[in-house]
Structure 1
Amino acid sequence: MKTNILGLPVKETEATVKELNTLLSNFQVYYQNLRGIHWNIRGKRFFDLHVKFEELYNDSQLKIDLIAERVLTLGGTPLHTFEDYIAHNQLTVGKNVSNDEKAIHLIVSSLSSVLKIERTILDHAGAINDEGTNSMMSDFIAEQEKTIWMMQAWLEE
């Protein structure tokens, strides 16, 4: 079996890069959703939610960079055009969301979809002993599961 400079199997690593680019694309859409709800949120919870949404989009921006850098580390090229992002997107695009509950539901559904992509990557990375990708996915998953729990707790008030 042919391996790359990292000792990972070439063919399987190329598949991981493709999956990471799908994740990257979906994170870019998630990021834009967060920016939109941050800008457009209205109502009595504006101040709290405006700050929370900024926290979430700043976090997603960091994750976007980590994903792109992992693609590069594995020898791939990160997707970087809106055309690519839309072509690989699996998330609902939130347009003009200003209602607090709709915004939170958008976050929960987006993260739920992102988790599915991350778990697929986790499975494939684990199968080829790609600990760098595995570790990153594990960290992302733990954080996002907690965010979903908190958002669902907010929705139940």
Structure 2
Amino acid sequence: MSQNLNAKLNELVSTYSVLYTKLHNYHWYVSGPSFFTLHDKFEELYNETTANLDELAERILSRDAKPVATLREHLEQSLIAEAEGKETAEQMVGTIVADFKTIMNALNETMSIAGEEGDDRTEDMLNAMYQSIEKHTWMLNAYLGESVSAQ
């Protein structure tokens, strides 16, 4: 079992943990004309994030390694930053799009490592996560009035 793959999986655990908290922040504090739409969307996203986080941690455990499990570790290892707490609704969506792009890059890197090691199960799990985030990114960009090809 590769320490490099386990480290990348733990980086994803930390990133998903920060994303989970950020999405809750946005869910609680979104306001304005898009409140009902975004309040529900952020809840959908943090519920999916919870499932992905648990899947990642359990995959690490099944590889005889240990997932990081403290807030300190999550903040240190996360690829994304916490919510600032003063974002507008549009800034919240834009930040999530940027975070999702960061996560998709990390998922791609980690899939490559899993593929090099012949760990098809990890690669498949990460690919499913990638496809879902890719779809969410497309939808959030449409909400912002941006096309994916323009980015």
TM category, shorter: over 0.9
- Distance in 2, matches of 1:63 and 1:144, equals 11
Q: Which runs of 5+ in 1 are unaligned?
A: 1-9
Confirm or deny that 1:113 pairs with 2:102.
yes
1:42 aligns with one of 12, 18, 31: 31
Which TM-score applies when normalising by structure 2? Answer: 0.93
Give the residue type in structure 1 aligned to 2:9: L
Q: Note if contact 1:36-1:97 (Cα within 8 Å) is conserved in structure 2.
A: no
Structure 1: distance between partners of 2:117 and 2:67: 21
Greater mean deviation of Cα atoms: 90-99 or 104-113: 90-99
In the alignment, structure 1 residue 85 sits paired with structure 2 residue 96: no
Give the CA deviation at 1:85.
Answer: 0.4
RMSD after superposition? 1.1
In structure 2, the residue matched to 1:66 is 55
TM-score (norm 1): 0.89
Aligned to 2:7: 18
Q: Secondary structure at the match of 1:113?
A: helix
Matched, 1:33 2:19: no
Pick the aligned partner of 1:133 from 110, 118, 122: 122
Identity of counterpart residues, as a percentage? 29
- Partner SS for 2:144: helix
- Partners in 1 of 2:128 and 2:53 — Cα distance? 14
Q: How many residues align?
A: 146
4+ residue segments displaced more than 3 Å: none
Unaligned runs of 5+ in 2: 147-151
